[in-house]
Chains A and B, each alone.
Chain A
Amino acid sequence: MSLAIETTNLTRRFGPVTAVAGLNLSVRSGEIFGFLGPNGAGKTTTIRMLCGLLLPSEGTARVAGVDVTQDADAVKRCVGYMPQRFSLYGDLTVEENLDFFAGVYRLPGQERRRRVTDILERVGLADRRRELTDHLSGGLKQRLALGCALVHSPAILFLDEPTAGADPPSRQRMWDLLYEAAAEGRTILVTTHYVEEAERCQTIGFMHRGRFIGSGSPEQCKAEMNEALLEVDALPVMQAAAVARSLEGVTGVSIYGHMVRVFAKSTTHLRHHLHEALVARGIVVKTIRAVAPTLEDVFMSLTRGTPENNGGR
């Protein structure tokens, strides 16, 4: 399968800050690639470089076979971009926005009108075509933004947190639209912090401090997590977590409802130690069992031990 996106040693610095540090990324044509990572990991900076909006400081990036540093406009013709911040004209109507972008992408008259009508139907905004964009709700704005990114039928879609702040039904609707676009053969690169959204991707890349710290299919990522996991059902849950945290060999503890998830390099002896320690503190232990990690666990495990990075880009 051919590569839609390929970067080698892609690097971007802003003064003393290195936002993206030697990224090697390969995205196959037609796949949905999820970019996962905390705020400031360099996801947006990477996307901006791939869209031809930002020049790399070092390294190369080929998008749809074109070098982004050589011919940014050629890249722009075959990619659609949905920025993180809503970036359409609030004082234009839904239809006017679509029509404007279709025009700017040089769609000829008849095709432009047909395409605008198609997109309006597709993103479910046909009956609100004459409303000012400013008056739409957040979820609808996101759908319109996706529509604008799709208006010129790009081979590759870059979506920067397309569902940020949206409610679950809106998110579901957005993902339906993304699968529809993928089914048409478009390659999709989407960033998110929602782990359950990452599960929907064919390939995910964990980005942290400007580099990949893990990638593969969600199943691979879970299988390759180099920590083991215990799920503890105990009461009171806060004390149980505190006890677990104090044990040697434990690398991380997180609480979900009345469950405590305990990460460790190995759980062969830990399970026994943990049970003893909890009981010794008078904590009621219902069960302790080894469980398979979720993507969230993988994410936590991969980013653990590194301080907060608030680069903002």
Chain B
Amino acid sequence: MLAVIGHVARKETLQILRDRRTLILILVMPILLTFLFGKALETGELRNIPLVILNQDGSPESNVIATAFSTFDEVQIQGEVGTLREAQDRLAQGKIKAAIVIPQGFMRQIEAGGEAELQLLLDWTDNSSAPIVEGVAQRVIRRYNAERAIRGLWAQGVRPDRGRRLIQPVFVQTEIRYNPGLQYLSYVMPGVIGLTLQLLTVMLMAITIPRERERGTLDQLIATPISRTELILGKLLPYLGISLLNVVTILYVADRWFNVPVRERLPLLLALCTLFVLTSLATGLLISAVSRSQFQAVQIAVFYVLPVFMLSGAYAPIEAIPETVRPISYLFPLMYFCRAVRAVTLRGAGLVLIWKDLAILSGFVLVFLYWTVLSFKKRVA
């Protein structure tokens, strides 16, 4: 049994090594993808949202407000415009995401003790930027109101420090325990690592049996007394080797360029990646066993890999997925992988906290491999 697995593994290895172009692809693509995905998501937080200010009042008070916006990194003031029309046009052209309008008589209204309005024109087609601009506007006004109230109280003999406590008696004290850098990237990197590892392994593995079928070599192979388990495990081993090489390079990239604390948690992360790679290889083998042609195998693989992007919680917590669809998420090994890697890299979890995910991933490997062996028929079609 072991000897035959060894012979199949050796044969597959020779074939992989002789296919130079694929070999280069296998070794370079994961690094490239991790890098590209990582870079693309690095600026996951929106900054410098373009907006304009229409200061119709032109008073000292309105100038204070206009200046206040420029102190926030989230927005970038693209200058002032003269008319409402101009602001609307630029908004319609998509050049800016918002316009702040300080109407004429703004200061007079405040001085008179009336209610003044700050108007906000928002383009909500971009529903990531719009709420951020609205939040910035709220904070600008809250700060302005507080300052004014403190000044008002001072005029009546209340000292500013006391005035501040009168106006703002309660504070929220936030203590960030995990991911202190508040980086989306730290959250999403496990997803990037998982997707990259999965993409290649599933695709490579999926075509191995149909390729032999198309070339006719399967006819000769199944005419021998080789067992299905020997063939499947023999094919798995060399690809596991390559994938582990990829795990190392991907983890290096994640550690070196994307601040994932790999070195601190190396044994646990390696174990997780190895198990996850095994689930992907087993998935690919299953696709391989049921596909009649390489074309069909690639089709099935794509139909597997794409939903995983959306449904496995690689980019956002699976709680963000509607409950009707969420049960599907639990069918993807990537979900458990992301969950466990996040626990390890962001919350410093140890084996005690992630053993369940490790067990589930192991379960996937066994079920998929067993299913593959059952699906593969040692007969001609």
Instruction: Supply 29 A–B pairs (Cβ within 8 Å), ascending by A.
Output: A48-B380, A51-B223, A53-B219, A53-B380, A54-B379, A54-B380, A72-B378, A76-B225, A81-B223, A83-B220, A83-B223, A85-B216, A89-B15, A89-B217, A91-B18, A92-B14, A92-B15, A99-B7, A100-B7, A101-B224, A103-B4, A103-B6, A103-B7, A103-B10, A105-B225, A106-B3, A106-B4, A106-B225, A132-B18
Determine which of A73, A88, A91, A106 lies in contact with B220 in the assembled complex, contact meaning CB atoms within 8 Å.
A88
Instruction: Assess whether B11 is in contact with A53, with CB atoms less than 8 Å apart.
Output: no
Chain B contacts of A104 at CB under 8 A? 4, 7-8, 221, 224-226
Complex Cα–Cα for A231 and B338 (A): 84
Instruction: Indicate whether B68 reaches chain A with its CB closer than 8 angstroms.
Output: no
Chain B contacts of A76 at CB under 8 A? 223-225
Contact string, B1-24, partner A, CB cutoff 8 A, digits 1/0?
A: 001101110110011001100000
Complex Cα–Cα for A92 and B15 (A): 7
Chain B contacts of A85 at CB under 8 A? 216, 219
Determine which of A73, A86, A99, A101 lies in contact with B216 in the assembled complex, contact meaning CB atoms within 8 Å.
A86
Residue of A nearest to B380 (CB): A53
**Which secondary structure characterizes the binding site on chain B?**
helix
Among A52, A85, A87: residue with most chain B CB under 10 A: A87
A53-B380, A81-B223 given; 9 more Cβ-contact pairs under 8 Å? A51-B223, A81-B220, A87-B218, A88-B220, A91-B15, A91-B18, A100-B11, A104-B224, A132-B18
Complex Cα–Cα for A86 and B216 (A): 7
Instruction: Indicate whether B222 reaches chain A with its CB closer than 8 angstroms.
Output: yes
Contact string, B282-321, partner A, CB cutoff 8 A, digits 1/0?
A: 0000000000000000000000000000000000000000
Contact string, A92-103, partner B, CB cutoff 8 A, digits 1/0?
A: 100010011101
Top 7 A-B residue pairs of the complex, sorted by shortest distance between their CB atoms? A103-B7, A87-B220, A81-B223, A87-B216, A76-B225, A73-B225, A85-B216
Chain A contacts of B177 at CB under 8 A? none
A310 to chain B, nearest CB (A): 19
Instruction: Assess whether A103 is in contact with B379, with CB atoms less than 8 Å apart.
Output: no
Complex Cα–Cα for A86 and B18 (A): 20
Chain B contacts of A91 at CB under 8 A? 14-15, 18-19
Chain B contacts of A87 at CB under 8 A? 215-220
Complex Cα–Cα for A12 and B292 (A): 21
In the complex, chain B residues 210-243 whose Cβ is within 8 Å of any chain A Cβ: 215-227
Instruction: Assess whether B225 is in contact with A103, with CB atoms less than 8 Å apart.
Output: no
In the complex, chain A residues 109-153 whose Cβ is within 8 Å of any chain B Cβ: 132, 148
Given contacts A55-B379, A104-B4, whether A89 and B11 have CB atoms under 8 Å apart is yes
Complex Cα–Cα for A54 and B219 (A): 11
Chain A contacts of B223 at CB under 8 A? 51-53, 76, 79, 81, 83
Chain B contacts of A92 at CB under 8 A? 11, 14-15
Chain A contacts of B18 at CB under 8 A? 91, 132
A80 to chain B, nearest CB (A): 8
Among A76, A91, A148: residue with most chain B CB under 10 A: A91
Residue of A nearest to B222 (CB): A53
B207 to chain A, nearest CB (A): 14
Chain A contacts of B218 at CB under 8 A? 87
Count how many chain A residues have C-beta atoms less than 8 Å from C-beta atoms of the other chain: 32
Chain A contacts of B379 at CB under 8 A? 53-55
Instruction: Assess whether A77 is in contact with B15, with CB atoms less than 8 Å apart.
Output: no
Chain A contacts of B219 at CB under 8 A? 53, 83, 85, 87
Chain A contacts of B226 at CB under 8 A? 104
Complex Cα–Cα for A288 and B380 (A): 52
A161 to chain B, nearest CB (A): 14
Instruction: Indicate whether A38 reaches chain B with its CB closer than 8 angstroms.
Output: no
In the complex, chain B residues 78-95 whose Cβ is within 8 Å of any chain A Cβ: none
Instruction: Indicate whether A90 reaches chain B with its CB closer than 8 angstroms.
Output: yes
Residue of A nearest to B227 (CB): A73
Complex Cα–Cα for A87 and B380 (A): 13
Complex Cα–Cα for A148 and B224 (A): 11
Chain A contacts of B378 at CB under 8 A? 53, 72
Instruction: Assess whether A96 is in contact with B11, with CB atoms less than 8 Å apart.
Output: yes
Chain A contacts of B217 at CB under 8 A? 87-89
Complex Cα–Cα for A74 and B11 (A): 24
Given contacts A54-B379, A87-B217, whether A103 and B3 have CB atoms under 8 Å apart is yes
Complex Cα–Cα for A84 and B215 (A): 13
Chain A contacts of B215 at CB under 8 A? 87, 90
Residue of B nearest to A53 (CB): B380
Chain A contacts of B221 at CB under 8 A? 104
A257 to chain B, nearest CB (A): 38
A154 to chain B, nearest CB (A): 10
Among B7, B14, B15, B227: residue with most chain A CB under 10 A: B7
Complex Cα–Cα for A48 and B218 (A): 13
Residue of A nearest to B226 (CB): A104
Chain B contacts of A132 at CB under 8 A? 18
B23 to chain A, nearest CB (A): 12
Residue of A nearest to B19 (CB): A91
Complex Cα–Cα for A53 and B8 (A): 20
Complex Cα–Cα for A79 and B220 (A): 12
Chain A contacts of B19 at CB under 8 A? 91
Given contacts A72-B378, A104-B226, whether A148 and B220 have CB atoms under 8 Å apart is yes
Complex Cα–Cα for A96 and B127 (A): 61
A93 to chain B, nearest CB (A): 9
Complex Cα–Cα for A127 and B11 (A): 22
Chain A contacts of B11 at CB under 8 A? 89, 92, 96, 100
A240 to chain B, nearest CB (A): 46
Given contacts A54-B379, A76-B224, A87-B219, whether A96 and B14 have CB atoms under 8 Å apart is yes
Complex Cα–Cα for A106 and B4 (A): 7
Complex Cα–Cα for A91 and B215 (A): 11
Residue of A nearest to B15 (CB): A91
Chain B contacts of A48 at CB under 8 A? 380
In the complex, chain B residues 32-65 whose Cβ is within 8 Å of any chain A Cβ: none
